Structures are given as C-alpha cells and as structure tokens.
Amino acid sequence: MSENGFTTQIIHSDRRSGIEHGAIHKPVHVSTEYAYADARELAAVFQGKAGYTYARQGTPTTTALELQVTRMEQGEATVSFATGMAALAATFLALLRHGDHLISSKYIFGNTNSLLMTLENFGVELTLVDATDAAEVAAAIRPNTRMVFVETIANPGTQVADLAAIGELCKAHNLVYVVDSTLSSPYLCPSKFYGASLVVNSLSKHIGGHGNGLGGAVTQTGLYDWSDYPNIYASYRKGSPRNWGLLQIKKKGLRDMGGTLSSDVAHRVAAGAETLALRMDRICSNAMALASFLSVHPKVTRVHYPGLASHPQHERASQLFGGRYGGLMGVELDPRIDVFEVLNRLKVAILATHLGDNRTLVLPAAHTIYYEMGPEHRALMGIPDGFLRISVGIEDENDLTGDFAQALDADANS
C-alpha cells in the first residue's frame, strides 16, 4: 500500500485505526479503570498483551495521539507524557544509572539543562559538548558512555546539531541517540532519517500548536537494538529487542513515576496536530521574512536564525530540513538600547514564554528563562542581556514585520 502524505495520514489516523460509534475523532475516554468479562483476559493484559488496565499507563485516547506522532516520525511506537519535560525525565531516568556517562549538546533548553544537573547529582557522569561539531562528540566518548542527547534546532540559540554525523557515531559505538525534535517538529524532518534511536517531542509546542494543552512524547524509531544495553531489567527483555527501551520508559515513566497525559488534553493536542504542516509552512515563511527584516535593522546586532546565510549551520539546516528553518529566532539588540522599552512597544507580538504557538511570542531570554543559571553560564551558552527569543506565529506577515519596525524605530524618549 502506498503511504499517504504527511497531513492525509494525520487527519485520517483516528478513522483508520478503528472507529468507535462512527465518531470521527477518537472519543475522550475518561474512565480510570478498565473492566474485563474474563479473568484470564485481565491477567493477560497485565502480563503484556495490548490493552488497558489503569489510566496511569494510558487510555485509548492517548493511544490515538501516540499513533499520530508515530506516523509523523515514521517510527514504530510512541509513549505520551504529561509534558515534554516528563518525557525527557522518563527517558533519562529509565535508561541511565549511577556510573553511566551521558554526552549532551551544551546548546539545549534551559530546563533540560537543569534536569541534567539533577542526573549528575544521582551519579550520572555528564559531558556537555558543542554538538554542531560531531568531532567534539567523538572526543567525549568513554567506555561507560551510554547515550548522546541533542536538540535538532537548539532552544534558544538555534544552533543546528551535526545530526547525521552524530547518528553515524552513535551507530558505530552502539550508543543510544536521543534527539529532541521540538523546534523542528517531525514535519521538517523525522529524526529517524539521521539515525535517532529515540525522538522526544514537546507536544505543547508545534504539534499541539494552540497554546491550550501541555504534552510530551517519546518515539522509538526502530534503529536501536537493546539486546546489549545493560540497563534493561529482565522483565522488559521480552519480545523484539527493538521494543525494550521504550517499554522500560513507559513502565518507569508512566506506571512508576506517573507522568501521564490526560485523555482531555490528548484530544486537544491531537486536534491541533491535524494542521501541523499548514501551520509550520506559514510559521517558517513568516519567520524567514521577520529574520531577514531584523538582520539588516540598524538597532539589531545579530539575528540567529538558521534560514539566514549568515547562520553558521545554514547549509546543514538547508540539507536537513528541506529549505524550511522553523519558527524560533534569537535577536541581539544593540547593547545601548533598553530591551524592556522595545518590548513594551510591541502591539502584535505577545510578551510571554512558550514557543510553537499560533501567536508570535517574545521573551528577553537572559532576564527570564536563563535568569536562574547566572551570568557565567549564560555567557557559555551565548545569551547576552539584549537577547530576545522570538517564537513566530501564523499572523499576517506584514503585521509582524510592521510591529517590530514600529517598536524598534520609535524614539526612546517620546
């Protein structure tokens, strides 16, 4: 059977995987517990047969969303979580142990960075590298290295990891390659194509897209064989070794840690996911226009956006993401300008954290999401005081460029 395109697959996903009562959307299943007429069947589900027992490990509604994400990533299976952070925490905590070594890109989301510090306190050895250069990853590999973690496009600096070369390295050294694809979204490119073992997405961002629900997901691409991975418990070494890692993430992350997505939110995210491709196309073209406008503005020192020829990984981004560069940019204002004054003049763009929303959102990064880590760590991550993180939405292009033009051009004393 020839596969349908990205959007056709997503919008027909619920219908094709077993419709209930003619309902086009997967119904929102609110039941906490699932009953069985036959005790043997109940036991079988507890022992690994597909089915539902207690909603902490999922419902038919969360399964429907997981199927959508699996299709987007062209993967094999997905487990959903209450947030992107819950998905990341479950992945690290389920698969790493005291004494293991983790190599991570140093260009990552601030909260993920903070989570890695917690792992270090539990005895996981951590090396932060410049993942735009696969040679740095290669040089960091030790005998006890288990995992490499990168973001496709880094939040907020927009560095593009050397995804394919790192994938080759992980394959050669049999390392688990975890890729956070939140900023590119699987629409720009499924991470499987550059060798990811597991792909993490924050569903709160582009996939949900409407700023009305938090969620996260981990997808197994099928490229990693867990047979020789030492940290898989005996009880999860059942069936195909390709499934062991995700099974353990599900058991530890949902059953034991309880980071479960509710059916209500799963439904909202799934409805948002139907238009991912349409929104992303619009977001990418708006972002390109805004980045081009800001990059030549006299009050702007630098624009970090992979779509600009001046971006250090522009060529790589073009190859990886098919000429689309996402919706996030970092903008450094002339240090003589009062960042807060400029932000206060914006009329269309909203002063709020979050990204991947339909609305354009702006944040002074050093004073907000990067405040807690202090000036030295900010300098290491390349976040000066005048750094604006802009998440571009689907507004009309001229309204956006016009809004930033008036905010920058207004006389600061008027």
Which CB, 272 or 300, lies closer to ligand PLP? 272
- To the nearest whole angstrom, how small is the minimum distance from the Cβ of residue 218 to ligand PLP? 12
The whole-angstrom separation of Cα 95 and Cα 237 is: 13
Q: DSSP letters along 278-323, please? A: HHHHHHHHHHHHHHHHHHT-TTEEEEE-TTSTTSTTHHHHHHHHTT
Nearest residue (CB) to ligand PLP, 96 versus 207: 207
**Shortest spacing between CB 89 and ligand PLP, in angstroms:** 9
Separation of alpha carbons 306 and 294, rounded Å:
14
The DSSP secondary-structure symbol of 157 reads T
Q: CB 156 → ligand PLP: shortest distance, Å?
A: 8
Between residues 205 and 282, which has the closer beta carbon with respect to ligand PLP? 205
Cβ nearer to ligand PLP, comparing 85 with 294 = 85
Which residue minimizes CB distance to ligand PLP? 84
What's at 382, amino acid-wise?
G
Number of other CB atoms surrounding residue 138 within 10 Å: 16
Looking at beta carbons only, is 216 or 306 nearer to ligand PLP? Answer: 216
If the CB atoms of residues 74 and 202 are measured against ligand PLP, the closer one turns out to be 202
Cα distances (Å, whole numbers) of residue 87 to 103, 123, 189, 371, 387: 18, 20, 20, 24, 28
Residue 154: CB minimum distance to ligand PLP, A: 8
Which residues, listed in sequence order, are joined to residue 178 by a DSSP beta bridge?
Answer: 149, 198
Least separation in angstroms between residue 151's CB and ligand PLP is: 5
Which CB, 28 or 85, lies closer to ligand PLP? 85
Give CA–CA dist 393/399, Å, rounded.
Answer: 11
As a whole number of angstroms, the distance between CA 300 and CA 83 comes to: 34
* Residues 306 and 35 sit within 8 Å (Cβ to Cβ): no
Q: Cα(193)–Cα(296) distance, rounded to whole angstroms? A: 35
The residues pairing with 177 across neighbouring beta strands, listed in sequence order, are: 148
Closer to ligand PLP by Cβ: residue 205 or 242: 205
Contacts of 102 (CB under 8 A, 6+ apart): 92, 96, 116, 119, 124, 125, 126, 127, 145, 146, 147, 148, 149
Least separation in angstroms between residue 1's CB and ligand PLP is 34
Distance in Å, CB of 11 to ligand PLP, minimum: 23
CB 173 within 8 A of CB 243: no
Rounded to the nearest angstrom, the gap between the alpha carbon of residue 133 and the centroid of all alpha carbons in its chain is 21
- Give the footprint of ligand PLP on this chain (CB under 6 A): 83-85, 109, 112, 151, 155, 180, 182-183, 202, 204-205, 214, 216, 355
Q: Is the peptide bond before 156 cis (omega within 30 degrees of 0)?
A: yes
Smallest gap from residue 108 Cβ to ligand PLP (A):
7
Angle between helices 60-73 and 263-273 (to 10 degrees): 30
Q: In what order do the strands lie in the sheet with 361-364?
A: 300-304, 328-333, 387-391, 361-364, 350-351
Nearest approach, Cβ of residue 178 and ligand PLP (Å)? 11
* Closer to ligand PLP by Cβ: residue 86 or 300: 86
Nearer to ligand PLP, 52 or 181 (CB): 181
Tally of CB atoms within 10 A around 344:
10
Taking the least distance from each CB to ligand PLP, the nearer of 248 and 391 is 391
CB atoms within 10 A of CB 106: 19
Where helices occur in 19-173 by DSSP H, the ranges are 39-46, 60-73, 84-95, 110-121, 134-140, 163-173
